[in-house]
Amino acid sequence: MKMKNTIHLVIAAIIGSSLTLGVYHFGNFSEEKTLMIEHVNSTPVIGTMYTANEKGDIVPLDFTVTAENVMPSVVHIKSTQKLSSRGPQNYQYRKLPDPFRDFFGDDFYDQFFGPDKRQGPQNFRDEAPARVGSGSGVIINENGYIVTNNHVIDNADEIEVTLHDNKSYKATVIGTDPTTDLALIQIKEKNLQTIPLVNSDNVKIGEWVLAVGNPFNLNSTVTAGIVSAKARNINILREQYAIESFIQTDAAINPGNSGGALVNLQGGLIGINTAIASPTGSYSGYGFAVPSNMVNKVVEDLLKYGVVQRGYLGVTIRNVDGNLANELDLDVTEGVYVDSVLVNSAAGAAGVEPGDVILEVDGNLVKTSPELQELIARRRPGDQVDLKIDRKGKTRKMNVTLKNRDGNNELASRSNSKSITLLGADFEAINRETAKKLEIEGGVRIVKLYAGKLRRETDIREGFIITKIDKKIIKDIDDLSDLLDGKKGGVLIEGVYEDYPGVYYYGIGM
């Protein structure tokens, strides 16, 4: 009874105090009061959010140090595309009679009215309207190598890179990989601050990350979020052999973030921000980044071989789930189901059969098709991988030697000499049948054009076959490289188009 009285007294005291305060507040509204505003130099509570470090210790969550460390390594990229009509139909130099040639003679005509006088920056390209795109990039090497998305610089005539300190440079394309939407470019600068690449396989769902880039031309923007999922496929890349195994994050990513950095709280690069899933075209909670392990493979190949080397199993696949397991009476509900095995494929040679379920690659669990595609895409033709498969309830292990698209172990080749890189193009030597049809001794076809001398200084188009450099015959890529290496001054490029008659000339400066 005594305890009850005590409790009643405490409750009564609390209620009384509340009523007293209420009367004071509402009963003095007519009296004049002095309003005092207090200013403080710091918030009373610092580090209200906490997280666990690698040791499991609880520490304050703070993004400031990471942001300061990574922002100088993320650049703004502006790609400019001139909206001119490319091709020989505008600047063709036809070996046909015309009154000027007949009157002046070939030598005089060539000197004043030749192809180098009828095309080029001086009389058309500088006045052409331009389409300007904006994106981001990440410095991964102190000598000016920058990773970005292929779609940021694709079809650009000129690429301008602006650093965190507002210094601007023209960039050269070292190489691209449309199948992963990655590109490697370079600026002429040294001693740049870089972001180290970390093992993206160790990234965990729920881990804090920062996205750094230039959305809507707002330079050096940092947003925070977590890793929402891994090995996502959103079917955004339109390449036939596209590899999509994105890291998904809820850190805000918008147009202009493409090519920017996704980093962990230690400042390590775990991915290159590439895409968003949005009904409006702007951020709505889902962003996607190419994992750093894939970035590392692509960059290494571009620097070493000039082109990405990709190994293939040679199978058609789909994810295993409960419905598929019931439908096909499978003994597993996770893994990658093999629908078919291609003829002359690496998988077929190793004994993989339709109906097999791939469970592991080199000891790494694979639960979805994107996971399998990513692990295989990191390998080159000729590399060996160990597969663990389920076949009608029994587990088997197989060693597979990967092949290329053509069904052999040969590596792709492309000259990555400095002179070829400056041209800004991918080349391939034409075969004998094409040479015979065109009545030429040989040549090198332009397969793809990038931002480089050919796009900036001429109106040459993809498909052009270079037959001569400064009147010297070109039969393969080595000839092209040998003639251009160390070359200074003007260069006359001669060649043909398969679909246009006549011989065409273009002039560049080295």
List, by residue number, the catalytic residues. 151, 181, 258
Question: Using CB atoms within 10 A of its CB, is residue 115 exposed (0-12), middle (13-18) or buried (19+)?
Answer: buried
Return the bridge partners of 390, or none: 357, 395
- Report which residue type is found at 474: I
Q: Is the dihedral of CA 45, 49, 53, 58 positive or negative?
A: positive
Q: DSSP per residue over 249-315, as a string?
A: E-S---TT-TT-EEEETTS-EEEEEEEE--SSSS-SS-EEEEEHHHHHHHHHHHHHTSS----B--E
Q: Which two tokens stand for residue 267?
A: 């400042």
Instruction: Specify the 3-state DSSP secondary structure of 354.
Output: coil
H or E element, residue 99: helix 99-104
- Inter-residue contact 209 to 251 (CB < 8 Å): yes
What letter represents residue 310's amino acid?
R
Containing 12, the helix (H) or strand (E) segment is helix 2-27
Structure tokens at 221: 């923007």
Q: Say whether 319 sits in a helix, a strand or coil.
A: strand
Q: Which two tokens stand for residue 95?
A: 């070996």
* Closest alpha carbon to 256 in 77, 424, 122: 77
Q: Are 248 and 230 in contact (CB under 8 A)?
A: yes
Strands 444-449 and 208-213: unpaired
CA angle, 142 then 147 then 151, to 5°: 155
- CA–CA dist 177, 294 (Å, integer): 11
**Which of 271, 73, 223 shows the shortest CA–CA distance to 163?**
73
What b-and-e string marks burial along 430-440, b requiring 16 or more CB atoms within 10 Å of the CB?
beeeebeebeb
Contact, 469 vs 480, CB < 8 A? yes
Q: How far apart are CA 386 and CA 313, in angstroms?
A: 12
In sequence order, the 6+-apart residues with CB closer than 8 A to the CB of 319 are: 336, 337, 367, 368, 369
